[in-house]
Structure 1
Amino acid sequence: MIKKIALGLLGVSLLSSCVSRRLYNELNGQYETAQQDNNRLSEELESLSGDRSLLEKERQKLQEQLAQLEEERDQLNAEISAAQGTLSTLTDSYSTLEKSSAAALKAEAERLNKLKLELEERSNRVTELEGKIAAQENQMKKLKDNLSRALNNFEGKGLTIEHKNGKVYVSMENKLLFKSGSWAVNPDGKTAVEELGKVLATNPDISVLIEGHTDNDKILGALGGGIEDNWDLSTKRATTIVNLLAENNRIDKKNLTAAGRSEYAPLASNASAEGKAKNRRIEVILSPKLDEISKMLNDL
């Protein structure tokens, strides 16, 4: 019995020994595998730790870049805001300038248009004035021709007719009109004045100035027959011619003017008898009435 038990125990012991070895081997194998896994995981952990360190550095770098970009963004936003403000100001200024320029251009256009109309109107008035001046010049030329025909018999007898400076000058020497020291008109002189009056009667728009002229000989006492001096004599002679012309009822008396010039508007030197004869004369100066032309000139 004991022997059987001992054999049994021996068998169990042997069986137990075999099981422990196998388990040991299995566990040892698992341990080695676990050890290898641990080593591998340690290496991976070390590698991951390195990667994490690199990633951390990269993250810090990216954060720094992000901060810089945010700073640049804020600066750009400020610049954009300032630029928008400037643009708004410029837009308002441009709008104001545009309105102002438009108003200025409109005002300038209106001024130029008004000036153009004024220039056109003035040009028309100048053209009209030139026409009237030309018409008056033709009138005076025609008057001179009519006088030349009417007084043809007296030309060469101390009577001359000249057209100059827009006027007609009829000069009659005293030998045709008066005796020395007298203001009574000779018959031939009276006829000449009457013929002159006939032409003037058909020209009511002509102003007639009669000037008396003398030489420089002095009036002495009774020789003058009541004449005090050459002023007096020249004036009386001019007045006599005016009175003769006034006898023609068709002549407008408002057109007649008498003036004495004495010796102070000579035609020639008083040093010779011939010169004195030329200076003793009646000048009839015929002028167109310039009232309308003067008004037109003032309106230009």
Structure 2
Amino acid sequence: MRFIITALIFVMVAGSFQSCVSKKKFDELQAAKTATDQALAETQSQVKTLGEEKDALAAEMASEKARLNGELSSLRTDMTAQIAQVNEKLNMTEAELKAIKDEINGMFAAYTDSGLTMEERDGRLYLVTEEPVNFRNSSSSLNRDQRNAIDAMAEKLKANPAIKVLVEGHTDNKQFAADAGTDNWDLSYARAKSVANRLIRKGVDASQITIAGHGDTMPAGDNATKEGREANRRTSLTPNPDLGGLLKAAGGN
């Protein structure tokens, strides 16, 4: 009997212990499930937020694309209009082109018939005499050979009153001993004026002549060498035709 009672007590104690262990395990599993559910809920919330942000970004991109397409379309329209305007100006009739060509030929015919040589240098036209008009250092005086060359040019200009010339004076880059208040600009102008005065003295109409001084700003040679500086102490003559007819033919004001 005592054995039976002892066995029952043992069974009851063992069952109570097993019940305690199962409840603890259950609580742990329940806590893990709760944490998992919470993490899942947070993840789902983040996924929803990201989806909303994605939709908002897609809508913004679509709006920006539509705006850019509108601006591009507007630019294309503007460019088409501008190109049409340019083409309208460039599409001159054959008669208009011929009128301009005749005008240019008429302006320079006097030079080709005058006996003066016309040369192009660096995109500019020059009237050239057989003898170059160069000067001594710091001087605007003409020597005998230069006077003879200018006199020969004067005869050609007198025989061709339609010719207009621009006499340009130049210097090297060296300073010179001269009166106070003068510089290479003054010297270059004085050199051009010497040539113009000689032409007028020999009978050329003053209305055919314009003068300008460039100082040392337009060198023809290297100022670092003696030969280059000699080449820079010069005057040059360029055609100075009346462009009024040309501008009128081209539609200018």
TM-score category of the 2 structures, normalised to the smaller one: 0.5 to 0.7
Q: How does 1:187-202 map to 2 (within 5 A)?
A: 187-202=144-159
Alignment partner for residue 205 of structure 1, among 154, 159, 162? 162
Deviation at 1:278, TM superposition (A): 1.2
Higher relative contact order (CA 8 A, sep 6+): 2
Percent sequence identity over matched residues? 29
Q: 1:235 to 1:173 in 2, by over 3 A?
A: same
User: What is aligned with 1:218?
Assistant: 175
Report how far residue 225 of structure 1 moved: 5.9
Q: Distance in 1 between matches of 2:191 and 2:214?
A: 11
- Structure 1 distance, partners of 2:175, 2:216, is 10
Aligned counterparts of 1:215 and 1:232: Cα–Cα separation in 2: 13
Q: Distance in 1 between matches of 2:125 and 2:109?
A: 11
2:199 aligned residue: 245
Query: Given the alignment, which residue of 99, 113, 119 partners 1:142?
Result: 113
Q: 2-side partners of 1:289 and 1:204: how far apart?
A: 13
Q: CA 1:245–1:126 in structure 2 vs 1: closer, same or farther (change >3 Å)?
A: same
Higher helix share: 1
Partner of 1:266: 219
Aligned position for 2:128 = 170
CA distance in structure 1 between the aligned counterparts of 2:181 and 2:156, rounded to whole angstroms: 32
Alignment root-mean-square deviation, CA = 2.9
Q: Is the 8 A contact 2:140 2:191 kept in 1?
A: yes
Q: Give the Å deviation of 1:299.
A: 6.0
Gaps of 5+ in 2: 1-90
Deviation, 1:142, is: 3.3
Matches within 5 A, 1:1-300: 122-143=93-114, 146-148=115-117, 162-163=119-120, 167-170=125-128, 172-174=132-134, 178-220=135-177, 224=178, 228-249=182-203, 251-298=204-251
- The verdict on how the C-alpha distance between 1:265 and 1:299 changes in structure 2, with shifts beyond 3 A counting, is closer
Q: How many residues align?
A: 161
TM-score, normalised by the number of residues in structure 1? 0.47
Q: Give the 3-state SS of the residue equivalent to 1:237 in structure 2.
A: helix
C-alpha displacement of 1:193: 0.6
Residues 207 and 286 in structure 1, CA contact (< 8 A), matched pair in contact too: yes
* Partners of 2:137 and 2:233 within 8 A in 1: no
Stretches (4+) displaced over 6 A = none
2:110–2:162 Cα contact (<8 Å) kept: no
CA distance in 1, matches of 2:225, 2:103: 44
Shift, 1:169, TM fit: 3.0
Report the structure number with the largest CA radius of gyration: 1
Shift of 1:195: 0.5
Flag structure 1 segments of 5+ consecutive residues without an equivalent. Answer: 1-119, 149-160
User: Deviation of residue 124 (structure 1)?
Assistant: 2.3
Contact 2:110 2:160 in 1 (8 A): no
Q: TM-score, normalised by structure 2?
A: 0.55
Q: CA deviation at 1:218?
A: 0.6
1:255, 1:142 → 2: CA distance? 16
Distance 1:210 1:242, change over 3 A: same
SS in 1 for 2:182: coil
